[in-house]
Amino acid sequence: MPSFIPIDSKSDFSIHNVPFGVFVLDDALSSTPHCATILGNTVISLRILSEAGKFDEIEGYDKTWFEGVSTAA
């Protein structure tokens, strides 16, 4: 499966190994955590993709999935 993001052939994070995590933008205006993944050296915010409507066609998808902040310890 091809990727629209350039991925070095030696990268641990290819289209076949997609990890998930949380990050905070280094931005004085926002400290909101973002659910994310990474391809190659590119961190991808699932929250921003969701806000752009990229998951809208997925059956059962709920736009609030990537908006909340977990309170689990």
Question: Quick check: 73 pLDDT over 50?
Answer: no
CA gap 50, 63 in Å, rounded: 7
Q: In whole angstroms, what is the distance from residue 30 CA to residue 39 CA?
A: 24
Q: Cα–Cα distance between 69 and 34 in angstroms, integer?
A: 9
For each of the domains in the chain, give its residue range(s) and CATH number, in order of start.
Answer: 1-56 (2.30.30.230)
Would you state the pLDDT for residue 38? 84
17-56: per-residue pLDDT in tens?
778 888 887 766 667 788 888 888 888 888 888 989 989 9
pLDDT at 5: 76
The answer, yes or no, to whether residue 61 has pLDDT greater than 70, is: yes
pLDDT given at position 71: 54
pLDDT of residue 35: 86
